[in-house]
Amino acid sequence: MMFADAHLHSNPVSGLGIKNIAHKFKDSGGWFLAIVSLPPTHYGLSSSYEGYMKSIEILINECKLAKDYGLKVACLAGLHPADIEKLIVRQVLKPKEILSLSERILKEIAYLCKKGILNGIGEVGRPHYKTKPEAIVANEIILRHALTIARDLGVIVHLHLEQGGLITVQSIKDYIELLHLNPLKILLHHLDLHTSIEAQHENLIFTIPGKYPLLREAFQRLSPNYMIESDYIDDLKRPGVSSYPWDIIHNQRRLLSEGITNEEYLYKLNIDNICRVYGVEPP
């Protein structure tokens, strides 16, 4: 069996970095990584245009290193909703300045997607915790802009959202219909089981964290039309958050050995769906 990680982060500044991640992931049976940008502050940079550009440079280099190691890779850059939320709540910038900054950053991300350097936008969306209403609305504006860019360029976008079940799923379904988006390019990332069931009911693309208890439930209640992620943030001060990429492989193999799932089911999650959504050739 070969395994994929459909959403993770790497940090060569203060974490393991992709060299170490790729080595252990591949040795564990991994073949594909969707590497998603971290906010600039994770690299010790400011949340300015220059900080974002430098963080995207770091991301692109990490993606190249993973490819050089023999892994298939999707490379995505975005504006994490928590970063935008902090700028507003802490009044670092005025709302007009934040929207102007996000527009400049998304314009550069779009350019890199057109050049084939990036494969999509990620992550953008809404905070999943209580905050000021204007922080949610600002992220909603940025989300709509990112979705429009993804539609026009035909690239994938990873959405960071609240775990709101039907409400979360309905809001994205409405965006897909109103903006005439390709549902195959709109990925709801890091869903819980309740929201996953609603997303699957509406035939939306999504990922779930590869933690053992959640996978055990998902394998018994969901059809194999989704993907598994580690959402690893590569922060040595918070080891294993949310999971190590190799741990999600171990958890799947464990559930296979326990008879909770089968190889055909896992093949669809780790090969078929990855190839269908990311447009890569199978291993």
Asked whether residue 231 is domain-assigned, the answer is yes
Asked whether residue 235 is domain-assigned, the answer is yes
**Tell me, what's the pLDDT at 241?**
79
Phi/psi at 253 (5° precision): -65, -35
How much is the average pLDDT of 66-87?
95
Asked whether residue 101 is domain-assigned, the answer is yes
pLDDT, the chain, mean: 95
**Tell me, what's the pLDDT at 90?**
83
pTM of the entire structure?
Answer: 0.95
Token pair, residue 161, equals 């959202």
- In the chain, how many domains are there? 1
Residue 12 banded pLDDT, cuts 50, 70, 90: very high
CATH of residue 44's domain is 3.20.20.140
Question: Minimal CA–CA distance to 69: which of 22, 111, 105?
Answer: 22
**pLDDT (tens digit per residue) in 133-162:** 888 999 999 999 999 999 999 999 999 999
**pLDDT (tens digit per residue) in 117-130:** 999 999 999 988 88
Contacts of 242 (CB under 8 A, 6+ apart): 190, 209, 211, 230, 231, 232, 233
Asked whether residue 222 is domain-assigned, the answer is yes
Asked whether residue 283 is domain-assigned, the answer is no
Question: Range with the lowest mean pLDDT among 9-18, 81-90, 111-120?
Answer: 81-90
**Tell me, what's the pLDDT at 202?**
96
Asked whether residue 168 is domain-assigned, the answer is yes
**Tell me, what's the pLDDT at 226?**
98
Asked whether residue 154 is domain-assigned, the answer is yes
> What is Dmax (Cα atoms) for the chain?
55
Residue 206 banded pLDDT, cuts 50, 70, 90: very high
**pLDDT (tens digit per residue) in 218-271:** 999 999 999 999 999 999 888 877 899 999 999 999 999 999 999 999 999 999
**Which domain covers residue 231, as residue numbers?**
3-278
Q: What percent of the chain has pLDDT over 90?
A: 90
How much is the average pLDDT of 30-41?
97
Q: How far is it, in rounded angstroms, from Cα 51 to Cα 41?
A: 8
**Tell me, what's the pLDDT at 254?**
98
